[in-house]
Structures are given as C-alpha cells and as structure tokens.
Amino acid sequence: MGESPDFISDLPQSIIENILTRLSIRDAIRTSVLSSKWRYKWSTLTDLVFDEKCVSPSNDRCVVETNLVRFITGVLLLHQGPIHKFQLSTSFKQCRPDIDQWLLFLSRNGIKELVLKLGEGEFRVPACLFNCLKLTCLELCHCEFDPPQYFKGFSYLKSLNLHQILVAPEVIESLISGCPLLEFLSLSYFDSLVLSISAPNLMYLYLDGEFKDIFLENTPKLVAISVSMYMHEDVTDFEQSSDYNLVKFLGGVPLLEKLVGYIYFTKYLSIGDDPGRLPLTYIHLKTIELYQVCFEDADEVLVLLRLVTHSPNLKELKVSASPVQPFPLEEEGFDLFERDYFDYKLPSLESVKITDASGIRYELEFIRFLLGTSPVLETVTVSSSLSDKDAKMDMVIELLRYPRVSPRAQLLFLQD
Amino acid sequence: MSEGEMAIIKPEMMKSYIWLETADGSIQQVEQEVAMFCPMICQEVIQKGVGSSKNYAISLPQRVNPAMLSLIFDYCRFHQVPGRSNKERKVYDEKFIRMDTKRLCELTSAADSLQLKPLVDLTSRALARIIEGKTPEEIREIFHLPDDLTEEEKLEPLKNTMDDPRIRLLNRLYAKKRKELKEREKLKSVEVEEHVDERSVDDLLSFINGRDPKVVKTSKSKKKNKKRKEQKNGSSNGTCEALEKDLHNLDSKSQSAEIVDNTASCLGDVSNLPSMEDDIFTPKTEFEDGYIDDEIDPALKELLDREVEDFARRLNSSWVLSIGQERQPVNFSINGNGTSRRLTGPAAGHK
C-alpha cells in the first residue's frame, strides 16, 4: 500500500471543492480527519446544504435538534470565505432563534441562494434577509415576512419560490416588481384572491391558491404557466367581469410554450364575453394541460377549442374532465361543433390524453373534433370515470366511429 | 505519435489539425473539431493563433500527459458529434469513468487544466461517489492518504487555519490537559446539586447587543426548555453535574470579570471561545460515531475548554478577537446555554 503516492490531495482546490460539493455536508466535513492536507479543504465550500440527516439519528428528537443546531453553528464558524448557497430543511421549531443568527451571518457573507424549508408554524423571517442584496434564488416554506420600509427589492433575484407564506398580497406584488431580473416565480398555498404580476423577465410562473382574479400586467417573456385555482366561496364574484378572461389572462404572453391549469382555471378563463377570435396566435405553445374541465359547460369547452385552434404548433394535449353533476344541465340546442370549427387544422398535434371522461356529448364531440382535424396525430388515449361496463362500451363504440384524418392515429382506451 | 506520422504522409488531407505539445516534449496533432472542444486549446488558437503547424504547437499544461490527453480526446470525439441522445451520452460517460482511482484523479486534473468543465464534473462526481459514505480509514486506503494526524489532533478543534504559534501552543496545552484529566477522571466522584441561572448575564448581553426584545424572549423560553431537559438528564449522571457546578462557578467568575470590563469585544473574546470549541468538537464526535465519545467524558472536555479558555484570555490573542468580531451578537446568549447544551448532547449520544 505504501508504494503508491497520495494522488488526490494535491489536486487543485477547485477540483477538491467540486468533489466535496457533491457529497453530503456530513461526508464533506468528515474529510477533515483524513490527513493534515485535508484538514481545511472543506472549509471554503460555497454551498452548504443542511437537513436532519446531517446529524446522527436518535430516537430523541430533542437530541437530534440540539445536535443539528450545534452542527450548523459549528460549520458556519469554521467556514472561510463567501457562502453562496445555504439550504436548511427541518421541521424542528426550537432552532428558529438560531436561524435568525445564521441568516444574519449569511447576510454578511454574500449569500446568493437561500432555501429555508421549515415545518408547520410560521417562522418570521428576520429583517436581515432584506439585506441579502446579492440573492439570486430565494425559497421559503412556512415563513412570514414583512420587508422593512427601506427595502426596494432584490435586484439580482432570478428565482422566487414561496410556499405557504403568510404575507399580504401587496407585499408580494411589490416584492415581485422589485426584482427586475426575476425569471422563475412560484407561489403555493397562496390565497390572495386578486394578484397582479409585473415582471418583465419572468419565464416560469407557478401559482397555487385561492384567486378571484390574476393580472399578468407585464410578463411578455413568459414561457410556462401553471395555475391551480381554487375558487372562493362566492362564485358570483367570479362572474362579474365582462372582459373575456381568456384574453385578459393570456393576452400578453406571446412566447408561451406550456400552459397547465387545474381545478377552476378553465372555468376562470371561460368567464366574460367571448369576442369570437383570439387576438393572438400562440406560435410557441406546444403543450396544453387542462385538468378538471367541466364538459357540461359550453363556455369551458369553448376555451379549450379557442386555445387549440390558436396554437398551430401544439404537440401535446392533456385534458381531464371534472365529474358530471348528478343532475346534468339541459344541453341546449346551441352546438359548438357545428360551427366552422372543422375548418380548422391542428397541424402539429401528436398526442392527446383525455382522462376521467364520462361519455357526455361535448366530450365525445371534442375527441371527434381532434381526430378530424389533426393530420399528424399519433395517439389519443382515453380513460373513463364510468363504472358501468355497458356505458363504457357505448363510449368506445362511439369513439371508433369517428373519422381520423391522420393515418397513424391510434385510439387507446384505457381500462383501469 | 503514429497519428502524427500519418499526417505527414498525407499532408493534403482536407481535415484541419491542431498541433499540440505535452510537457514531456512529445508533439502530436489532433482533428481541429475535437481539439477545439477544450476551451483552453480553443483560446490558444483564437487568441494567439498557435497550433497550426508543428513549429507552433500549443504547449499544454504540465498536468496533461500524453496518456491522459488521448483519453480526453476520446471523450471529446464522442461528445462533439451532434445529435446524440442524452441517454447515449450518459451510457458513454458511465463507461468512460470506469478506471482506477489514480487514473481518475489524473484525468480530473488534466481535464481541469484544459478547462473541460463537463469532464471535470463527470470525474468529480465519480470521485465523490467513491468517497461517499466511507469511513476515514477506507478513504485513506483508497487514495493512499497518509494517516498523519494524531488521535489528539483528530479530536482537536479544526480552528487553527492560520499557522499561529500561539494557537499551536494553545492546542498543545489543550492536549496535555486532556491527558491529565483523563487520569484524574477515575478518582473523581462528587455529588452536587446543580443550579444554573444565567438570566442576569443573558439580560446584560441582550442589553449590550441591543437585541429586539421579542427575540430575546424566545431565546429565554428556549432556555427554560433546555433547563428542564438538563434536570432530567442530571439525575442519571452525577459526575457531570458535579463538574458542571465547578464549571459554572468558574464561568460566573470569569463572567463577572468581564462585566467589570464591560466592553462588548471583551465579552466576545471570552465567552465565545468555549462555545466555539464545543461546536467544533461536536460534529466530529458525531462523525466518529462513538469512537471518540468513549474516550473522553464530555464533562471533562468541558473543564478542559475552560482551562484553555483561561489560557486564551491570558494570551489576549488577536486571533480570538478577530473571531469574536466576525460573530453575531446574539450568539452570546446562546453561549449562556452552552453548558447545558454541551452536556445534553454527547451524554445523550451514549444512549
């Protein structure tokens, strides 16, 4: 063993750090007992990621927590140089006063990426967070904050991810507009009812919460939108708007590539007076996923139709139907699909997935429309929420009847 | 070499080549599109206009030997071809890094000197995977690391980065004291009731630090919890308590001395040191999973910390001062808890 020289210790520090960054922080710091050359190699690591696994497991949560606090404090004290990333995931509550101190320490060490994934119970973020002006990425979970008066925004922030944060909507709005470089924004469990977003460089937007209205005021670069919209009790509020929400919401995002909506999102888009045609063609839109679409509501189906017919490069479509009401609405004589819709072509659509279909008229018509207008369609996957075998069979038979313009189109009916 | 000869035979070949010279003086030529995959070579060609002929070969950094170079160009040759799927690339990479650790290190170093970041990342990841989850002994064996730290050193705090003679002195004293105490340990068994009340010190500290009263309150309530925990522990460990009381006396003495001095920096000096050593010590204790724990009683260690601390104060070392300034004021109040935390941690670790 002795004849072979030590060939790793003298590698340049940048390589050593590259290696150590890929280890858990526990393994990385353990290298300090390897040999004298390794003593402090870890101490200039710029990314520090902590969780409860950093310390020895114990049945006593208190012991683990105490050790974790000491471990983090020790690491920060021994650390040299800038700390670019600090991540802490823990559900412990006792360590919260310590987090205050760590944040203060980090705010003085050029922190760029801060991730605090805390457990239940709001942690009030200390004001020193707002002195971390070099932040490019901020992720907070179960926190509460209120920026001080002097705070004008994070001028380098590119990614903001807030999960179950207690904060006033105005605060969020001004925080967002105070981050001119923001590219990624995610707000979840966020019940703001009305939210306006102004972020000239925003590319990715994820919203999840109770909203009555969302305004994308200045978001020309948006590439992906995902919205889970839960509705407030009084739906009537939802309906007051006279502008077509589809136009209002998606009118200013010409670069959109992916649109995903859950729960009431399609419903929300369907509200307002339909202007006929959309003012915009989404030439970049490749994927549309709309879940819990109510096919009994002609307005919602119209939203679907408007979107697919204004997205010439759409490749993938996923739609799930919301459960049919026990007392179905009277289907009026008004027929969406006998209008000029079959004049449209969906030139790029390759894959369609419809789930939870119950075989009601608009569902079937919609599938028929897709089969009849998509020349390069490859697969249409349908799964049904029906429990009755005969009803399912009727649906399959009906679907098989529809002409397909794409010679390669396969219809797959999934049995659960 | 053979490649070089081939090119001499067919000088009219359409493909353009880059001439490269490794540190051992051997010259070879490589297809341009492959060589240019390395940013370092690319820069030389573009900025200095070298590499176009044998006489103007690009001299490569010392860390690149011919064997590594040909390995690196294998990698470049595969990856410079456009249109390969991610999966294909992954499979190739996985195979590519199957080599002994010595070569892996050499390759990392060579790739680094050619600024070939993707390859550096690939090999670093492979090296990290080798280190991951292994004991220090295993890692030493794999990489032929000298086991040149004494047991004492492995226990010691990792603090003396700068090679300060005073710190070395401090460490030596620390080690000596620890040995002494290990022997004294057997003789000692005292029973004293413990009672810790550091509130006044805490208040003073928060006053000096000018902390937001809300936060001070939370840290206090936290302390109460700690205390309760400690009492539970205490009944099972008489020796610890006894020592702790001694320590507490020591502690309050030193603290009252500071209060007279009444400057924040002075407080910083003294009260920081033990908690720091403790923090340094703890992670290591956990790393070694019991093997250190068995050797030194945490309480003894505590006593040692105190003595070293006294010594450090006498030194009035600028080093300690500078660390004190780095730290944030609130830490002081944590230090008020230091005693109890230190005891609960490692002692419970034995369970």
User: How confident is the model over B121-132, as a mean pLDDT?
Assistant: 94
Beta strands A224-230 and A258-263 are: parallel
User: How confident is the model over B172-185, as a mean pLDDT?
Assistant: 65
User: How confident is the model over B231-255, as a mean pLDDT?
Assistant: 40
B347 touches chain A (CB under 8 A): no
pLDDT at A314 over 90: yes
How many other C-beta atoms are found inside a 10 Å radius of the C-beta of residue B130? 17
Q: What is the per-residue pLDDT for A320?
A: 95
A125 touches chain B (CB under 8 A): no
User: How confident is the model over B221-226, as a mean pLDDT?
Assistant: 37
Higher pLDDT, B8 or A337: A337
Distance from CA of A81 to the nearest CA of B (A): 12
- Residues 6 or more apart whose CB falls under 8 angstroms from that of A172 comprise A162, A187, A190, A192, A195
B298: left (phi over 0), alpha (psi -120 to 50) or beta: alpha
B164 touches chain A (CB under 8 A): no
Q: How far, CA to CA in Å, does B56 sit from each of A288, B6, B269? A: 57, 19, 60
Yes or no, beta carbons of B283 and A71 under 8 Å apart: yes
B334 touches chain A (CB under 8 A): yes
Separation between Cα atoms, residue B18 and residue A135, nearest integer Å: 43
pLDDT at B261 over 70: no
- Tell me: do B52 and B135 sit in the same domain: yes
Which candidate in B63, B104, B327 is best for mutational testing of the A interface (most A CBs within 10 A)? Answer: B327
pLDDT range class, residue A241, cuts 50, 70, 90: low
pLDDT range class, residue B227, cuts 50, 70, 90: very low
Q: Picking from A237-251, A293-307, B33-47, B63-77, which range would have the lowest pLDDT averaged per residue?
A: A237-251
Establish if A137 belongs to a structural domain.
no
A5 touches chain B (CB under 8 A): yes
Q: What is the pTM of this model?
A: 0.68
User: How confident is the model over B142-149, as a mean pLDDT?
Assistant: 86
Establish if A287 belongs to a structural domain.
yes
Separation between Cα atoms, residue B256 and residue B261, nearest integer Å: 9
Structure tokens at B78: 């595969």
**Dihedral angle over CA of B214, B216, B217, B219, nearest 10:** 130
Instruction: Write the pLDDT tens digit of every residue in A151-184.
Output: 999 999 999 999 988 888 889 999 999 999 999 9
Q: Picking from A129-143, A185-199, B166-180, B321-335, which range would have the lowest pLDDT averaged per residue?
A: B321-335
Instruction: Write the pLDDT tens digit of every residue in A320-330.
Output: 998 876 665 55
Q: Picking from A136-140, A153-157, B10-14, B15-19, which range would have the lowest pLDDT averaged per residue?
A: B10-14
Yes or no, beta carbons of B146 and A35 under 8 Å apart: yes
Separation between Cα atoms, residue B62 and residue B105, nearest integer Å: 15
Q: What is the per-residue pLDDT for A40?
A: 86
Q: What is the per-residue pLDDT for B250?
A: 41
* Length of chain A, in residues: 416
pLDDT range class, residue B169, cuts 50, 70, 90: low
Q: Which of residues 210-269 of B touch A (CB under 8 A)?
A: 215, 218-219, 222, 225, 229
pLDDT at B11 over 90: no
Q: What percentage of residues in chain A have a pLDDT greater than 70?
A: 92
pLDDT at B313 over 50: yes
Parent domain of B179: 149-193
Instruction: Write the pLDDT tens digit of every residue in A383-401.
Output: 998 888 898 999 999 999 9
Q: What is the per-residue pLDDT for A178?
A: 94
Question: DSSP secondary structure string, A61-120?
Answer: HHHHHHHHHHHHHHHHHH--S---EEEEEE--STTHHHHHHHHHHHHTTT--EEEEEE-S
- Residue B229 identity: K
B351 touches chain A (CB under 8 A): yes
Distance, CA of A298 to chain centre: 28
User: How confident is the model over A101-125, as a mean pLDDT?
Assistant: 91
Q: The dihedral of CA A219, A220, A223, A228: what is its sign? A: positive
Minimum Cα–Cα distance from B276: chain A residue = A74
Establish if A313 belongs to a structural domain.
yes
B99 touches chain A (CB under 8 A): no
A235 touches chain B (CB under 8 A): no
CB A297 within 8 A of CB A324: no
- Tell me: do B26 and B113 sit in the same domain: yes
Q: What percentage of residues in chain B have a pLDDT greater than 70?
A: 38
pLDDT at A339 over 90: no
Establish if A381 belongs to a structural domain.
yes
Q: What is the per-residue pLDDT for B110?
A: 94
Establish if A411 belongs to a structural domain.
yes
Minimum Cα–Cα distance from A74: chain B residue = B279
Structure tokens at B286: 């956990």
Considering A90-94, A315-319, B100-104, the range whose residues carry the highest mean pLDDT is A315-319
- Tell me: do B56 and B94 sit in the same domain: yes
pLDDT at B173 over 70: no
Establish if B10 belongs to a structural domain.
no
B106 touches chain A (CB under 8 A): yes
Q: What percentage of residues in chain A have a pLDDT greater than 90?
A: 54
CB A59 within 8 A of CB B180: no
- Residues 6 or more apart whose CB falls under 8 angstroms from that of B265 comprise B321, B324, B325
Number of domains in chain B: 2
Q: What is the per-residue pLDDT for A406?
A: 94
Task: State the angle between helix axes of B213-234 and B199-209 in degrees (0 to 180), rounded to the nearest 10.
Answer: 150
pLDDT range class, residue B205, cuts 50, 70, 90: very low
Yes or no, beta carbons of A33 and B349 under 8 Å apart: no
- Tell me: do B33 and B123 sit in the same domain: yes
Q: What is the per-residue pLDDT for B341?
A: 34
Yes or no, beta carbons of B109 and A34 under 8 Å apart: no
- Tell me: do B112 and B179 sit in the same domain: no
Q: What is the per-residue pLDDT for A60?
A: 85
- Tell me: do B56 and B80 sit in the same domain: yes
Establish if B320 belongs to a structural domain.
no
Which residue is associated with the tokens 């070298």?
Answer: B50
Q: What is the per-residue pLDDT for B51?
A: 85
- Tell me: do B23 and B138 sit in the same domain: yes
Task: State the angle between helix axes of A61-78 and A96-107 in degrees (0 to 180), rounded to the nearest 10.
Answer: 10
Which chain B residues have a beta carbon less than 8 Å from that of A8?
Answer: 101, 105, 127, 143, 145
Structure tokens at A379: 């697969």
**How many CB pairs below 8 Å do chains A and B form together?**
160
Q: What is the per-residue pLDDT for A336?
A: 66
Q: Which of B289, B341, B348 has its CB closest to that of A70? A: B341
Which chain A residues have a beta carbon less than 8 Å from that of B124?
Answer: 15, 18-19, 22
* Length of chain B, in residues: 351
pLDDT at B182 over 70: no
Structure tokens at A219: 């978001």
pLDDT at B86 over 90: yes
Which chain A residues have a beta carbon less than 8 Å from that of B125?
Answer: 22
Which residue is associated with the tokens 């994070």?
Answer: A154
Yes or no, beta carbons of A77 and B120 under 8 Å apart: no
Establish if A368 belongs to a structural domain.
yes
Q: The dihedral of CA B94, B95, B96, B98: what is its sign? A: positive
Establish if B324 belongs to a structural domain.
no
- Tell me: do B32 and B102 sit in the same domain: yes
Q: What is the per-residue pLDDT for B175?
A: 65
pLDDT at A2 over 60: no
Q: Which of A12, A71, A126 has its CB closest to that of B282? A: A71
Distance from CA of B329 to the nearest CA of A (A): 8
Parent domain of A392: 281-323+340-415
Separation between Cα atoms, residue A118 and residue A141, nearest integer Å: 6
- Tell me: do B100 and B160 sit in the same domain: no
Q: How far, CA to CA in Å, does A216 sit from each of A231, A239, A250, A280, B302? A: 19, 19, 8, 15, 60
Establish if B275 belongs to a structural domain.
no
pLDDT at A81 over 50: yes
The pLDDT mean for chain A works out to 88
Yes or no, beta carbons of A97 and B219 under 8 Å apart: yes
Establish if B201 belongs to a structural domain.
no
pLDDT at B247 over 80: no
Which residue is associated with the tokens 């309050």?
Answer: B252
Q: Which of B112, B282, B323 has its CB closest to that of A12? A: B112
Number of domains in chain A: 1
Separation between Cα atoms, residue B279 and residue B274, nearest integer Å: 9
- Residues 6 or more apart whose CB falls under 8 angstroms from that of A344 comprise A309, A373
Minimum Cα–Cα distance from A57: chain B residue = B349
Show the CA angle centred on residue B123, arms to residues B118 and B125, nearest 5°.
95
- Residues 6 or more apart whose CB falls under 8 angstroms from that of A158 comprise A136, A137, A181, A182, A183, A184
- Residues 6 or more apart whose CB falls under 8 angstroms from that of A317 comprise A287, A288, A289, A308, A349, A351, A352, A353, A370
Yes or no, beta carbons of B286 and A29 under 8 Å apart: no
A22: left (phi over 0), alpha (psi -120 to 50) or beta: alpha
Higher pLDDT, A415 or B126: B126
Instruction: Write the pLDDT tens digit of every residue in A179-212.
Output: 999 999 999 988 777 889 999 999 999 999 888 8
pLDDT range class, residue A233, cuts 50, 70, 90: low
Which chain A residues have a beta carbon less than 8 Å from that of B141?
Answer: 1
Establish if B238 belongs to a structural domain.
no
Higher pLDDT, B173 or A210: A210
Distance from CA of A103 to the nearest CA of B (A): 10
CA nearest to A263, candidates A236, A289, A302: A289
B83: left (phi over 0), alpha (psi -120 to 50) or beta: left
A13 touches chain B (CB under 8 A): no
Yes or no, beta carbons of A56 and B286 under 8 Å apart: yes
Establish if B77 belongs to a structural domain.
yes
Q: Which of residues 47-86 of A touch B (CB under 8 A)?
A: 55-56, 58, 60, 62-63, 66-67, 70-71, 73-75, 77-78, 80
Structure tokens at A406: 């794409």
Q: Picking from A74-83, A154-163, A226-235, which range would have the lowest pLDDT averaged per residue?
A: A226-235
Establish if A317 belongs to a structural domain.
yes
Separation between Cα atoms, residue B312 and residue B317, nearest integer Å: 7
CA nearest to A358, candidates A294, A271, A287: A294
Establish if B234 belongs to a structural domain.
no
Separation between Cα atoms, residue B148 and residue A36, nearest integer Å: 6
Instruction: Write the pLDDT tens digit of every residue in A11-25.
Output: 999 999 999 999 999
Q: Picking from A144-158, B233-247, B292-306, which range would have the lowest pLDDT averaged per residue?
A: B233-247
B25: left (phi over 0), alpha (psi -120 to 50) or beta: left
User: How confident is the model over B278-287, as a mean pLDDT?
Assistant: 39
Q: What is the per-residue pLDDT for A210?
A: 87
Which of B109, B143, B177 is a domain's end point?
B143
What CATH number is attached to the domain comprising B89?
3.30.710.10
Yes or no, beta carbons of A71 and B286 under 8 Å apart: yes
SS3 state at A326: coil
Q: What is the per-residue pLDDT for B311?
A: 52
Establish if A274 belongs to a structural domain.
no
